[in-house]
Each structure stands twice: as structure tokens, then as C-alpha cells.
Structure 1
Amino acid sequence: MRAHWLVLFAVLVAVASALCVQGYLHHLSGIGDDSAPSAGSAGKVPTAVSEGGPVIDARSGALRTAGPPERTIALTFDDGPDPVWTPKILDVLKKHHVHATFFVVGSAAVENPDLLRQMVADGNEVGVHTLTHVDLGSAPAWRQQLEIQGDQQVISGLTGQTASLLRPPYSSENDAVTNSTWDSIRTAAADGYLTVLTTKDSEDWKRPGVGEIEKNLAISGAKGQVVLMHDGGGDRSQTVAALDAVLSRYEEQGYHVTTLGDALGINSMNPASIGAEASGTAFVAGIRLSDWLVTAISWALVASGIVTFLRAVLVIGFAARHRREALRLRAAGRGRRRLSIPIRPAMTEPVTVIVPAYNEAAGIEAAVRSIAASNHQVEIIVVDDGSSDGTADLVEALALPGVVVIRKENGGKPSALNAGLCAASHQLIVMVDGDTVFEPDTVRKLIQPFADPRIGAVSGNTKVANRDGILGAWQHIEYVVGFNLDRRLFDVAECMPTVPGAIGAFRRDALERVGGVSDDTLAEDTDLTMALCRDGWRVVYQDDARAWTEAPASLGALWRQRYRWCYGTLQAMWKHRGAVVQGGAAGKLGRRGLGYLLVLQVLLPLFAPVVDVFAVYGLVFLDPVRIAALWLIFLAVQLCMAAYAFRIDKESLRPLWTLPLQQFVYRQLMYLVVIQSVVTAFAGVHLRWHRMERYGSLTVPAGVKENA
């Protein structure tokens, strides 16, 4: 089963790699308006370069430079292909029956592959202008290699040809070559590249006006020229207009306008080898895959953000409605007769409380004593499910009236609950875990909704007793904000999926109609609740019926507990999937409850690791201030929702200071639990019961009665 962690690691590495590709191609550099080359010393630049021709050949020991022959103009364009301006420039070239050399940027070529192919098909020449339009003179050696060879691979992959001409971005004429630029030229020459500079710069990147561009390209005399223009990097409308006029003038003056290779009498482009073309094709495919993946992630992030925001709005809205209704019913119970408040009779029937116990010696005494101290008539049945730590002996030693101990061989929690159900004397059944304590009025408050005959089960309000420490605070927040807010929503929407094992009340005849507590899943409480909903019973939430339970005190114990919960919930969802197409109460559970669980508790957690990787990507490659602002907005929504949940639960807001930290540890642990559970479920592996460690810390916190 550990193989799935390797799969997760591989997926995250793949996503991170795709994001790095995107960040490198689109955010570390980028095509923009050219500017003057970076200043620097030129003391190491040979005179043959600074005073020579625009084409530099440093491939052999003998440095040579060259330029076009007399009355020949090598027309060159940089920074394309651009989806708007390159087609217009190609049309102008066709109109005048001339060809040009296009120094293409690899990232732009990947986005516009058809334009690159059209350049070549029209008889034009293509050269290397780096992968992302980076200044080679200021780039380290590894990046120079990546930029040049990456662009070459794009050209090979898209056209099936290799290019031998290179123009460094931000380059101009020979006398502007600096030491660092010269070093990059020599490095490129070692890989077989001819470096091309310029003799006539249109300076169209400044957008000075059509007339000024024409003036910059005016030529007199017979000397051959290398003309620089741009087909990408910004608005090139002035370039297109000036090009038409300039070509007409050159034709009138008798100049021959052609590609650089044709002007020099060389074949600058040659068919790529099978290996080079395959490598280039794979390189381009990798970039396109990263583009697609990042686009998909971006849309998924938008969708998850919308879902998260809607969930916050829905949960708070339904919680407010649930609270108003609860206040109305309590007011009616106190005798406030208003026409808008229905009078509901108080439930005074005796209750059977079933406590399944397996090795609960650490907390069973506190649990049983708290239930026995209830201000409502109760029968307590403790079912010892084959304990080996003397749990049953401890309960019997208490000698409390109304407490019955049943000893049985270990058969699991469902069998213990069913044994208690068979021995129960009353029609109202309360089930409580052996690591949970009640307040004196918990039972009385818990059963009041049974005044409505449609109600088959009631969920109580589970509280974390051992909330000291940051892990306890995080679980306390989760119980109040996650579980209890959701239960209010489920109550109002009539699709309660879970009555927790820590505190739940049931009608006996409802339990008998669904066959008692099933052992089909590891989440017997969720399975039972869903079965009741599908049988037509209403399941509600009683927020003032509180139970205090022990939460895991270590990350390992927390993992085991939540792993069982999550896996069991997935089992129950699958078992009751037929509710989606049913009507009535079953349909509400299927379409509302199961849909909510699927989206919020399965799909979003599965996507969460990618969100974290994307956040790191944003901090590195995007605007870190914007990313931080988005995170703060998300955190503010979480804090507002948490503050409201704590307020209606009458809890102190002090633990909320740990909420930002929860995003960095607790959240990751929870989504890893979901991933583990989903993989286990799909693999069909039977997961054994994970019993939580007991700490013997069960008490009702001081001041609870006063604050109730």
C-alpha cells in the first residue's frame, strides 16, 4: 500500500515540474520592448568584432566577420512569432515578393506553431533568439545553454529543421558588444552558431511613429545592410505600416532584399536528424502539456475557490436559520406562548443509555458516573466487548443504581451496541462512547426533538475535553467549525449523514426497522444514520445537548482515528449510493448529503496538495504580494466562519489564534488522510479497526454549567 505515496509524490513532482516550466517560460523572462544593451566593459572584445561585420563566426580558431554584399539588404525580424503582427508582416513580404530572416523566441513559437511553419513554408529563414528572450550576457552558463538549445529544440520539433543563426536578445551593432556578450557569443559558437548583429536598427520597439521608422531605415550607398525590425513584443502596427513603405523604397532604389543566409550564400537551415527532431517534438509536447496542466489547475483553483466561498455562505446561512429555530423551540419550552412559536411537549420518557466498551479502563468510570448523574431517568447498559484491562470490573465496582454490565466476547462495536439494544428496557436509546462524559442535562436535552414523531435520531454536540495544547486547539476548532456547523446545515437541509458515536439518540423501533447497527463499514455511526434517512426518518441536531470526548493527543493517534473515520465514511457513501436516485428523505440524503460529502470531504482534499504546490509557484514566479493577499482573504473567510461558529456554540475565541498555523500542519495531515483512505478504498483493502489511545483526562470543564 505504500506505492500510492510514491504515486502521490510522482504526481506532485510532475505538477511542480510543469509549474516550473511555466514559471521559467513566462515569468522569469518575457518578450517585451527591446532596450539598450546592458552597459559593461568591452576591453576583451576583439577589434575584429567591434569594428567588423554584423555576422560573427567564432566557430573555429580564426575569428571572422562578414556582412551582406553590396546593394543587398538582409531583412530580419525579432521577438516573434506573434499571432497578430506576424501574419500581417508575412502578408507584406508576400506582397513585395521578398523573404526575411525571423529570429524566433521559443516560448512564442510553442504558442504559435502554425506561424513558425508558415514562415518556413513561405521561403523565409528562421534563427534562434533564445527560449524566453533573456539577456545572454547577464545569464549564467547553464541558462545560456538552456536558452539557446531550448529554442533550437522548439524549431526542430515544429519544423523538422535546425537553425545555425543566433541573435542574442537586446543586441544591436558591433560596437555595442560587451565582454559578457562576447563570452556568450563564443559559448554559442562552440555549439556551431553564427551570431548575427545589425547595421540598421529601425528602433520600432520605441514606437516612434511610422515616419521615424522609415527615416531610421533610410539607406544610401552600395554597402550591404542587416536591417532589424520586430514582429513581436508589443504593438507592431507602426512596423507593419513602415515595412510596406520601406520595401517599396528599397525596390525603387534597386536594393535586393532577402534572407541573411541567401545574402551570405549559406544554408543556415538544414533537415534535423531523426533524434534531434524526436527530441524537439518531445520538448514541445512537454511544454504544451505543462501549459494544459497549469490551465486545468488554474480553472480547478477557481472552481474550488468558488465552492469554498459558497460553502462558507451556505454553512453560515443555514447555521443562522438553525439557531433561530432552536431559540424558538426553547422559548416555547419555557412557556413563551406566541402565535409564531409552536408548543412542543417536553419529553419525559425514561431512556436507555448504551455504552460499548473495549479496554476503556482509563475513562469508563468518569463516563458512567457522568451519565448516572443525569437529571433525567436513565438505564445505563455498559457492554464490555471482551476487554482485557478490567473495564467491566471497574464499572461493577462503582455499584451505581440503574447500571447494568453485559460481558461478551470481542465482536466489534456494532455487535456491542446490538447486544445493548437487545437488553434495553426503553423505547428511547442513547448511544455514547466509553471515552465520553455527559453534562447533567445532556440526556434530557438530547431527547426533546423526539416529540416530533417523524424524527428517528438526534445528534448531540460533541466537544473536545482535552483541548490544551496546539493539537487539542486545532481539533477543538475542527469540532466547532467543521462538524457542528455542518450538522446545522444538514439538519436544515434534512440530509444528516452522521449521528456521532460519542452522542446520539434513537427511537428503538427505527433501529429495529433498519436491522440494528450494521458492521458493514468502519463508520457504523454514519452507516446507521444513512440507513435511517433512507428508511424515511428525519435526523436532527440538538446543539445544546453536549458531550465531552477525548481527542487524540498525538499526530499518530490522530492519523489512525481520522483514517478509520474517513475510510468508513467512504464505505458508507458507497453502500448507500442508491439514495442518489431515490425520492423523499432518501433522495435528500443522496443528492444533498452525499453530494456535499463527495465535493467537500473527498474531492477538495484530494486537490489540496496541488493547491499548496501552486501557492509555492505563485510566491516564486508570480506576484508574492498578490498571492499573500489571496491567502489572507481565504484566512479571513475562515476566521469569520470560525468566529461565528464559536459564538453560537458559546465558546471562547481564544483558540482561534492557532487557526493560521492550522493551515500549515493540520490541514495537510487531513488531506493526506483522505488520500490514504481513497486509495485504500479503490484498492479494495480491508482496513482493521484502529482503536484510539485513552488518556484518562475525561472531565466536564469547570464553568460549563454556568455558561450553558
Structure 2
Amino acid sequence: MFEGNRSKKRQEPSHLTRGGRHKRSRDPRAHWLFLLLVLPAMFGLLIFQGWTDHEVDAAKTRRPCASPVPRALADGGPVVQINGDRVRTVGMPAGTVALTYDGGPDPVQTPRLLDLLRRYDARATFFVSGAKAAQHPELVRRIRAEGHEIGSNTYTGADMGTASPTRSRMELSLTESALAGSVGVQPRLLRLPLTTDVDTLCGDEWQAARRVAAEGYALVAADRSGRKPSQGVVRQFSQTDTAYQETEKLLKDPRARKFTTVTGGLGVPPVDVPVSGLERWEGKALIWVAAIGRGFVSTMVWVLGIAGALGVLRLLMLVLFARAHVRRLTRFRPGAPWLRQVNEPVTVLIPAYNEEAGIEATIRSLLASSHQRLQVVVIDDGSTDRTADIAASVDDPRVLVVRQPNAGKAAALNTGLAQTRHDIVVMVDADTVFEPDAVHQLIQPLAHPAIGAVSG
């Protein structure tokens, strides 16, 4: 950094200890303890939220099927039970429609669907996303309170055929925890994300189906689109306006005699499993952590957005005001004289501590300056190397070397100010090599009467 002024004003050192270069800092152990506690928690929240949003260990798309579905599956119904190598499939009896909804709960569409189903006294199975269930546990409770069935659509809707083993386990276990915390049960029905009818349970999806079946789940696909309600069907919907309209149309279909849940259509009791008190509290903890994570990420987005906007605004203001300042300084005013060129002699102060590697190059670059009227004062601040000897070896009458015990940079500059012979003082670092016109250009703004110092 360069600094120029028109006087030899002394600067008293502040907060310096005798014989040292820096003031003693406070004990940082409490700060480190705080960081060790807070930073891992913040990092964990970001990782978990990134995992939930498929930014970490992503599994958002499925691969094309490399092998067809097993024959027992292709010729069977949409509800699939797998026990080792045995595959059993069943479908809805004639006239029975099992309404199923994937994803959600959605704060807009789920209440609309529930109101519609209540109006027609119909029941349905909601295959919920664990992440959405943790975000809207009150909607999960309403679904169950109104007599509907709850299944799993995994925690984030990841493709289970391409998901890593770790992600697959977490997709199931976190959904179980979210439902345990919201309604006190764990689901035993599951719909694999990105699948529809049984024909889509092929290739990697079939292997994923076998893995989740080993965890105790029954898989629920949908009937093929050509099957009629009078034959008995499992219908699959998302939670959208289109799904609402299609559901309403289906509820008015006279060929369907009964609208019920998957287990209700099969004539078996609900298969979800009540949880223990500990599991319920673990689920509640997941809901709280998920809420904190969403809040933290949202806050960070706002903070970074505002910080970025302020940074851009600051940059624009700097450019604007710098341009205005330059125009004000260079604009010729009628009756005002042109600014003169500054050619007065200059004292250059170089505080140095253990700078033997670069001190000679710094001094010689200054002596080679186009501004020849110089006094170069090197203040050796108690160096333990050859800094002072090297500076003294420069054979030029403009160079003065002053030695002092180590007392810090500010004290060294004050010592140098006491040796100045000229009104203009430039303060530089000992490891800087200067262009020939650097000193001349630096002092030119001092020609303006409003400028008393230059820094840059």
C-alpha cells in the first residue's frame, strides 16, 4: 500500500506490545468450541437438505429396462407380494376401484382431494413422500383420520432401481420415521417411484422390488389403462388439478360400485404397523430436524441473495462515484487554472523486518524511478537476517538505513518520519518492486488542493 501526504505527521503505535510485532490476541478456545459445535450441525443440515433435493447421491432418473418383467408378474394383478423366489399377485374384484395417489401430501391439492372423496363417501390409498409427510404432518393426520390408507412412495421419490444401497435403505427408513412421528404407524404398502403398471417393474426396478419386499413391503402398481372399472381396477393418480378432475369423473362412473383402499378392496385388514413410543419420538425428531433444515436453507438463500445484491450495488456505486470523482477532478472550469505537475522531492519510507530476499530489488527499483528527487529511508525493525546490511550496501547517497529494536511496523514508520527531509512522504512495503513512473504517478493527485493523501 502506498500513502502520501504533505506533512511529517507522526503516527503513534496503538495496541503494540514492547518488543513484538503484533498485539496479543484473546484466547480463542471458546470460539473454536462454538465453531466445532455449530459448523458440523450446519454442514449436516445442508447435506441432508441436499440429499433430500437430490443434489447429493442423486437418483432422479431410471435406466431403460435391460430385462422384461417375470412372467408371473406380467400375467398377474397390480398388488405384488414377493417371498424369496415366489411371486404372488392379486387384483381388485369386479366393480371395485382402488384409488391411489402418489407423492404429497400437497398443501393445496391434498385437501381438495380429501374434500372430494368425503363428498362421495369414497376411500383411497395415499402413497406419500416421506419428505412431504415431514413437512406437512397435519395433512398426514387428516388422511388417516378420514379413513384413508397410507403407503410409502419413499422419502424423496428417488428411483430405487438406480439408487445406491445406502440411499435405498434411507429412503425406506426415513419415510417410516416420518410417518411414525406424524401418525404413529409404519407403512407396509409401497409404490416404487417412477413406476406405473406391472410392466414398468422390469430390469433394475424388479431388483429394487425384490429388495424392498425383503424389508416386509407389499408392492402396489396400477392396472393397465385399458382395464375398465367394472372389471375391478387399481387407479394411479398424482396430486394435481388433472388428477382431481379425473377422480371426479371416475367417482361418477356408474360401472364402479365401490371406491376403497387397496387392502379394503382385497378384503384384508390394514397392514400398517403401530410403532413404539421411542420410534414415535424418533419420528418427531426427524420432523423437527427437517423443519430446521428447510428453514436454514431458506435463510441462507435469502442471506446470500441479499449479500450478492448488496455486493453488486456496492460495486455499481463505487464505479459511479469513482467516475464522478475523476470527472470532477479533471473537468476544466472557466477561470480555474490547470492543475500543475508535482515535481517536489519525495521521501520514501520502507519499514523492513527479515526482508533480505527482496529489500535490494525494492531499493533499486525506487532509485531507478523517473522521479529522481528522492530520499529513501530503510527502517530495519530488529531483523535477525542481513536485511540492514544489504540495504546499507546500496551505494547511493539518497539511501539512508536506520536500525531499531523490533517494535512493529507502526513504530518503524514513526522512526522513519523523524528522518524525513521532504514534505511529501511515500510509505511502501519492503517486498515491492516499482515501475519507473510509479512514484511520479502516485504523487500527482496531490496537486489538487482538496487532496492531502493518496492510497492505492
Q: TM-score, normalising length from structure 1?
A: 0.51
C-alpha distance in 2 between matches for 1:155 and 1:231: 19
Query: 1:474-485 residue pairs with structure 2 within 5 A?
Result: none
CA 1:232–1:404 in structure 2 vs 1: closer, same or farther (change >3 Å)? same
C-alpha distance in 2 between matches for 1:395 and 1:177: 81
C-alpha distance in 2 between matches for 1:202 and 1:427: 93
Q: Does residue 86 of the first structure (1) align with residue 110 of the second (2)?
A: yes
Residues 484-512 of structure 1 deviation map (CA, whole Å, 9 limit, x = unaligned): xxxxxxxxxxxxxxxxxxxxxxxxxxxxx
C-alpha distance in 1 between matches for 2:166 and 2:87: 24
- In structure 2, the residue corresponding to 1:235 is in which secondary structure? helix
Q: Does residue 219 of the first structure (1) align with residue 243 of the second (2)?
A: no
Q: Which amino acid letter does the alignment assign opposite residue 121 of structure 1?
A: A
Q: Which amino acid letter does the alignment assign opposite residue 274 of structure 1?
A: G
Tell me, yes or no, if the aligned pair for 1:19 and 1:290 is still in contact at 8 Å: no
Q: Pick from 143, 149, 152: which aligns with 1:128?
A: 152
- In structure 1, the residue corresponding to 2:127 is in which secondary structure? strand
CA 1:94–1:450 in structure 2 vs 1: closer, same or farther (change >3 Å)? same
Q: Which amino acid letter does the alignment assign opposite residue 167 of structure 1?
A: R
Residues 59-106 of structure 1 deviation map (CA, whole Å, 9 limit, x = unaligned): 589765555567654433334433333222211221122322222233
The match for 2:284 is 281
Query: 1:447-462 residue pairs with structure 2 within 5 A?
Result: 447-459=443-455
Q: Does residue 41 of the first structure (1) align with residue 65 of the second (2)?
A: no
The match for 1:356 is 351
- In structure 1, the residue corresponding to 2:418 is in which secondary structure? helix
The match for 1:409 is 405
Q: Pick from 217, 223, 235: which aligns with 1:228?
A: 235
Identity of aligned residues (%): 36
CA 1:202–1:411 in structure 2 vs 1: closer, same or farther (change >3 Å)? same
CA 1:268–1:447 in structure 2 vs 1: closer, same or farther (change >3 Å)? same
The match for 2:294 is 291
C-alpha distance in 1 between matches for 2:367 and 2:196: 91
Tell me, yes or no, if the aligned pair for 1:80 and 1:86 is still in contact at 8 Å: yes
Pairwise CA RMSD: 4.1
C-alpha distance in 1 between matches for 2:66 and 2:243: 27
Unaligned runs of 5+ in 2: 1-27
C-alpha distance in 1 between matches for 2:439 and 2:167: 71
The match for 1:241 is 248
Tell me, yes or no, if the aligned pair for 1:92 and 1:244 is still in contact at 8 Å: no
Tell me the CA shift for residue 319 of structure 1.
4.4
- In structure 2, the residue corresponding to 1:92 is in which secondary structure? helix
Tell me, yes or no, if the aligned pair for 1:19 and 1:294 is still in contact at 8 Å: no
C-alpha distance in 2 between matches for 1:137 and 1:92: 34
- In structure 1, the residue corresponding to 2:407 is in which secondary structure? coil
Tell me, yes or no, if the aligned pair for 1:217 and 1:227 is still in contact at 8 Å: no
Q: Which amino acid letter does the alignment assign opposite residue 273 of structure 2?
A: N
Tell me the CA shift for residue 271 of structure 1.
2.2
Tell me the CA shift for residue 266 of structure 1.
1.1
Tell me, yes or no, if the aligned pair for 1:370 and 1:439 is still in contact at 8 Å: yes
The match for 1:344 is 339
C-alpha distance in 1 between matches for 2:158 and 2:441: 71
The match for 2:378 is 382
- In structure 1, the residue corresponding to 2:54 is in which secondary structure? helix
Residues 605-664 of structure 1 deviation map (CA, whole Å, 9 limit, x = unaligned): xxxxxxxxxxxxxxxxxxxxxxxxxxxxxxxxxxxxxxxxxxxxxxxxxxxxxxxxxxxx
Tell me the CA shift for residue 268 of structure 1.
2.0
C-alpha distance in 2 between matches for 1:386 and 1:169: 72
Tell me, yes or no, if the aligned pair for 2:74 and 2:198 is still in contact at 8 Å: yes
Tell me, yes or no, if the aligned pair for 1:21 and 1:290 is still in contact at 8 Å: no
CA 1:295–1:341 in structure 2 vs 1: closer, same or farther (change >3 Å)? farther
Query: 1:157-556 residue pairs with structure 2 within 5 A?
Result: 157-169=181-193, 178=202, 183-199=207-223, 217-219=228-230, 225-232=232-239, 235-246=242-253, 249=254, 255-263=257-265, 264-324=267-327, 327-328=330-331, 339=334, 342-347=337-342, 349-372=344-367, 375=371, 377-437=373-433, 442-459=438-455
Tell me the CA shift for residue 123 of structure 1.
1.5
Q: Which amino acid letter does the alignment assign opposite residue 98 of structure 1?
A: A
Tell me the CA shift for residue 53 of structure 1.
5.0
Tell me, yes or no, if the aligned pair for 2:148 and 2:261 is still in contact at 8 Å: yes
Tell me the CA shift for residue 163 of structure 1.
1.6
Q: Which amino acid letter does the alignment assign opposite residue 426 of structure 2?
A: V
Tell me, yes or no, if the aligned pair for 2:340 and 2:447 is still in contact at 8 Å: yes
CA 1:411–1:78 in structure 2 vs 1: closer, same or farther (change >3 Å)? closer
Tell me, yes or no, if the aligned pair for 1:385 and 1:412 is still in contact at 8 Å: yes
Tell me, yes or no, if the aligned pair for 1:346 and 1:451 is still in contact at 8 Å: yes
Structure with the bigger RCO (C-alpha within 8 Å, sep 6+) is: 2
Tell me the CA shift for residue 242 of structure 1.
0.7
Tell me, yes or no, if the aligned pair for 1:79 and 1:230 is still in contact at 8 Å: no
Q: Which amino acid letter does the alignment assign opposite residue 451 of structure 2?
A: I
CA 1:237–1:301 in structure 2 vs 1: closer, same or farther (change >3 Å)? same
Residues 171-223 of structure 1 deviation map (CA, whole Å, 9 limit, x = unaligned): 55667765765544443332222233445x568xxxxxxxxxxxx65416xxx
C-alpha distance in 2 between matches for 1:296 and 1:281: 22
C-alpha distance in 2 between matches for 1:440 and 1:26: 57
- In structure 2, the residue corresponding to 1:401 is in which secondary structure? coil
Tell me, yes or no, if the aligned pair for 2:180 and 2:275 is still in contact at 8 Å: yes
The match for 1:115 is 139
The match for 2:13 is none
C-alpha distance in 2 between matches for 1:24 and 1:277: 28
C-alpha distance in 2 between matches for 1:414 and 1:219: 93
CA 1:428–1:121 in structure 2 vs 1: closer, same or farther (change >3 Å)? same
- In structure 2, the residue corresponding to 1:23 is in which secondary structure? coil
C-alpha distance in 1 between matches for 2:335 and 2:312: 33
Q: Pick from 80, 87, 101: which aligns with 1:77?
A: 101
Tell me, yes or no, if the aligned pair for 1:137 and 1:181 is still in contact at 8 Å: yes
Tell me, yes or no, if the aligned pair for 1:136 and 1:169 is still in contact at 8 Å: yes
Tell me, yes or no, if the aligned pair for 1:21 and 1:287 is still in contact at 8 Å: no
C-alpha distance in 2 between matches for 1:402 and 1:141: 75
Query: 1:637-648 residue pairs with structure 2 within 5 A?
Result: none
Residues 442-500 of structure 1 deviation map (CA, whole Å, 9 limit, x = unaligned): 5455444444555332225xxxxxxxxxxxxxxxxxxxxxxxxxxxxxxxxxxxxxxxx
